[in-house]
Amino acid sequence: MNKMADLISVIVPVFMVEQYLDYCIQSIVDQTYSNLEIILIDDGSLDQCPQICDKWSEKDSRIIVIHKENGGVSRARNTGIEKANGKYIVFIDSDDFIEPLYIEYLYRALCDTEADISECRYTRSPVLSEKSFSQTTMSQPVLQTAEEALRIWTCLEKQELNLVVWNKMYRLELVREVGFAEGYDGGEDALFTCLTFGKCRKIAHIDNELYHWRNTPNSASKQFPDNLLQSVELLFLALDYLEQEYPSVATGCKIHMCNIMNGFFYSLQYETALDCKQEAKEKMLSFRRRILFTAKEWKQSTLKEKAIIICSNALVVGYYIRFRHFWDIIG
């Protein structure tokens, strides 16, 4: 493969990650695929991140730094998309790091299959870990149609790989058509993935673990319950899209949302310090009432899916909360 073929844009939103930023950028600079445009978006970070970004831009001419007021990860990514000049684009979180072959393998998967999106596997790395495990052989790409990928996206056991955006490479035109929903603190990745999958011709999956995700203390996944409530709001937007464009997989999305709500109520029961507990419960119950299952959807659901649907029913949830409260008192 010609290492100086298509230009690839790497978008890195940066906010309050000075402990991890150097290693993240180093892992991008060290990629075996060298024709890169590395766009670091300093999202109003108050630590040493702005200075770290500027130092890297002085060392590597491929690095472009954008300093802006804090507006959230979606706005930062959208800013990067606007500035990008590559044929393809990848997103990397600034507290994570990637294998040296990450971009090369994703690019090869796109070129070999003429897909619009390629994706790899990722690992959960300990917060302080900086060790990578380079792989020298790329797995054979497995192709999926948009509908097949969306069906996995809604699957209760297997959706995690498809929900994130940072283990994928996209055609830039596709990304610009969709963009990230701004003003939210959770769920943007899931909605973006749903819409890009729905608008592409095919997706190429490779089984190599090339991305290392650190679930750091400041991660959005740690913010509870606001980010989960916002995630559900964005999932309703995804459901609206699926019901219009891919009705065959819309039921799976509804069941996935019921499962999220069940987990929310279970977790919320033990978050006793939250002042907004009752408000969060009421909001989630109002979300649940917006999901109506047709007789056909109910008939076609599996026994496990029926159990999930029943458990997310507002009446059942209400009784469950009362039971847990009573049990805690007598316990």
Query: In the predicted model, is pLDDT for residue 18 greater than 50?
Result: yes
**Owner of token pair 């989630």:** 284
| Residues contacting residue 6 through CB under 8 Å, at least 6 positions apart | 35, 86, 87, 88, 107
Average pLDDT for the chain? 81
| Residues 199/174, Cβ–Cβ less than 8 Å | yes
For domain 8-221, give the CATH superfamily: Spore Coat Polysaccharide Biosynthesis Protein SpsA; Chain A (3.90.550.10)
Q: How many CA atoms lie within 13 A of 185 on its CB side?
A: 13
247-268 and 277-289 helices, crossing angle to 10°: 160
The CA distance from 121 to 133, in Å, is 13
Query: In the predicted model, is pLDDT for residue 260 greater than 90?
Result: no
The rounded percent of the chain whose pLDDT value lies above 90 is 51
Average pLDDT for 98-117: 96
| Residues 287/261, Cβ–Cβ less than 8 Å | yes
Q: Report which secondary-structure segment, H or E, holds 309.
A: helix 303-311
| Nearest residue to 100 (alpha-carbon basis) of 198, 178, 211, 7 | 211
From residue 325, how far is each of 258, 281, 315 by CA, in Å? Answer: 22, 14, 16
Q: What is the pLDDT of residue 222?
A: 47
The residues that bridge with 97 in the sheet, in sequence order, are 212
Query: In the predicted model, is pLDDT for residue 157 greater than 50?
Result: no
In 3-state terms, what secondary structure has residue 150? helix
Average pLDDT for 137-162: 80
Q: How confident is the model at residue 156 (pLDDT cuts 50, 70, 90)?
A: very low
Gyration radius from the chain CA atoms: 21
Q: What is the pLDDT of residue 220?
A: 46
Query: In the predicted model, is pLDDT for residue 318 greater than 70?
Result: no
The residue that leads in pLDDT, 310 or 47, is: 47
Q: How confident is the model at residue 294 (pLDDT cuts 50, 70, 90)?
A: low
Q: What is the pLDDT of residue 210?
A: 94
| Residues contacting residue 87 through CB under 8 Å, at least 6 positions apart | 6, 7, 8, 171, 172
In this prediction the pTM is 0.82
The CA distance from 228 to 221, in Å, is 8
pLDDT tens digits for range 56-102 = 999 999 999 999 999 999 999 999 999 999 999 999 999 999 999 99
Average pLDDT for 118-123: 93
Query: In the predicted model, is pLDDT for residue 23 greater than 70?
Result: yes
Domain parsing of the chain, residue ranges: 8-221, 224-330
Query: In the predicted model, is pLDDT for residue 204 greater than 70?
Result: yes
The CA distance from 84 to 149, in Å, is 26
| Residues 8/87, Cβ–Cβ less than 8 Å | yes
Residue 331 neighbours by CB distance under 10 Å:
6
pLDDT tens digits for range 216-227 = 665 544 454 566
Where do the H-state alpha helices sit in 117-206? Answer: 146-153, 160-163, 172-178, 188-199
Q: What is the pLDDT of residue 126?
A: 67
| Residues 215/122, Cβ–Cβ less than 8 Å | no
Q: What is the DSSP letter of 222?
A: G
The residues that bridge with 88 in the sheet, in sequence order, are 8, 171
Average pLDDT for 276-285: 67
Strands 88-91 and 63-68: unpaired
Average pLDDT for 295-315: 64
Query: In the predicted model, is pLDDT for residue 326 greater than 60?
Result: no
